[in-house]
Chains A and B, each alone.
Chain A
């Protein structure tokens, strides 16, 4: 029974991952981006759980719970942890207009399919077929990092990049060893906390969080 559903479930989860990534590029409101990030964390946890059940590895189910708590709940909560009223007003004014950005997302997705099938040739497994999604997420994360002006929006780009790497790890090798998974989650959590503190300091020092203001140091 599970075998028939398995490819569909993998497809559903990876589809959700790609869709949330594309929506993050499209939406300009910070609150919407954070909610999409939470949704993406849940989708990633579901993907890991599906792979874990299919391969009969209880360790992966544990990892899935870890991902759900860190990426689905913890990180979005940290990011949204200021008054809802002020966060609702934060609108990004990115360097790319939405049409161009979505076109770029399409091109990046096609590119990652080409790269993965040509370079790696990941065989005929269900997970191998879905692996390009992970690379597409990494590339979309870069796109967000480059095209966004606000500190917190860049942070979301970084988290998308990290989710992409995790997706590749789970789809190509069933995840890295659990100790490393813990270390990676902890590192990402701490980096986000630090950047969050810096974004707060930036607001008091510069009167805003637009990264464009960081232009004092140069040669």
Chain B
């Protein structure tokens, strides 16, 4: 079983090499899809292994897949598949020279995220998170316009500085472990209760590490790169970055939290993450009300959802199953929305909301999935985001964080109203009378990935076995057991 741990790392690398070798072949456009399928299939294999009670490990203990890692790997694969398949480029455009690098970088990006969730070393995890910045830098700047260059510069500078702060934190955590018998960076060893780590070093290290990874997961006030990068990148890249890269950074916060909780208790990070979460919701609410660009609107929606997830992480074990389900639901829906937004941008030629009118009448093939996915992202049942949000709010109430979740609820209502207004502005209404048109039923790209993503999100909350069992097992991992 331990061989499966290497597939999500080596597979995408192999496909990346293939993309560079297939000079003019049309097959090259399937490289991203193949790489994400490799990640998804191995993720599902590892999930089944974990549910059977084994914990695959390999590489001298450097790679390890407990329930949480296996689950996150599956999410990376699933969101990757939806983004790359939904954003499949046309055969003609995949023959250009740029396309080879593009597909190769997507595959590298997937490999880096897989390494981040599989590594049993906070150091290796850090290096993998930094590698995601490296892989996505040129993807964000892919269009080579002034705007995308600006977005890419801000993204790389802020992303690297943020992750450098996280490295400083990890260095301090390692310094704490040097004071004990076994110097280590393995989170498995560090999250055992009897190490006797120095509380002062762990406090400073944990705070810096969480601050750094929070930059990468787009939490306010370190979010300023996110709307720029996510709105300027090509649609599949935005889907991957918004849908799953942010959650991978949140996963890093979860691992750091499981180390600090044992040494200094949950209160310290709880305060930090609650403030970050509420600030993110506030930033998202205030900037969504007057938003004019629909890709930026989706980016601010990611800040909102990451903020609520951070509040869930702050609440602790009671909310963690909801947070983990949230990661999957948000990832799939956000990838879908970005894919559709890319198609709208392509056919309408403008990212401005007020220029895209009466989409439901003019282009039902795009507007119908857009409306359904929008309903899912603002939290309508039966989509799983609804159940995650309710779960987090209930859990917050039960552990005595009523003020925090109360404030979050108010901000969520504001965001809900803003989203509804913007979506209605884009889709509902009649086109101008003097313009003749025929309704366009084409989806302008593969339909199946969108249907799959929406159906999965709608159904997943009702599947107690094996999803519920897996989520509980993953939560138990973070409690220090297993």
Question: Which residues does A use to contact B, with CB under 8 Å?
Answer: 119-121, 138, 145, 151, 154, 158, 161-162, 165, 168-169, 172-174, 176-177, 179-180, 183-184, 187, 190-191, 194-195, 198, 201-202, 205-206, 211, 214, 216-217, 219
Contact = CB atoms under 8 A, between A and B. Distances in A.
Contact of B147 (A174, A183, A202, A216): A216
Interface string B123-158: 110110011011001100100101101111110110
24 contacts: A165-B171, A169-B175, A172-B172, A172-B178, A173-B174, A176-B123, A180-B123, A183-B127, A184-B127, A187-B127, A187-B134, A191-B160, A194-B138, A195-B156, A198-B137, A198-B152, A202-B153, A216-B146, A217-B151, A217-B228, A217-B231, A219-B227, A219-B290, A219-B291
Given A121-B200, A169-B175, A173-B171, 8 more contacts: A145-B157, A158-B157, A172-B172, A183-B124, A191-B133, A194-B156, A198-B156, A217-B228
Interface string B163-183: 010011011101100100001
A158 B156 CA distance: 11
Nearest to B225: A217
Interface in B437-478: none
A205 B171 contact: no
A25 B121 CA distance: 36
Given A145-B161, A162-B164, A217-B151, A176 B141 contact: no
B296 interface: yes
Given A187-B127, A198-B141, A158 B161 contact: yes
A172 B157 contact: no
Interface in B253-303: 287, 290-291, 296
Nearest to A181: B123
A202 B149 CA distance: 7
A180 to B, nearest CB: 4
A111 B95 CA distance: 56
B201 interface: yes
Interface residues of B, number: 47
Given A119-B200, A205-B149, A214-B154, A176 B134 contact: no
Contact of B204 (A119, A184, A190): A119
Nearest to B198: A120
Given A194-B138, A198-B156, A219-B296, A174 B161 contact: no
B175 A165 contact: no
Contacts of B228: 217
A169 B127 contact: no
Interface of B: 121, 123-124, 126-127, 130-131, 133-134, 137-138, 141, 144, 146-147, 149-154, 156-157, 160-161, 164, 167-168, 170-172, 174-175, 178, 183, 185, 200-201, 204, 227-228, 231-232, 287, 290-291, 296
B200 A169 contact: no
A52 to B, nearest CB: 15
Contacts of B154: 214, 217
Nearest to A131: B175
Contacts of B168: 138, 165, 168
A176 B125 CA distance: 14
Those 8 A-B pairs whose CB atoms lie nearest each other, nearest first: A183-B127, A180-B123, A172-B175, A173-B175, A173-B178, A214-B150, A169-B171, A187-B130
Contacts of B231: 217
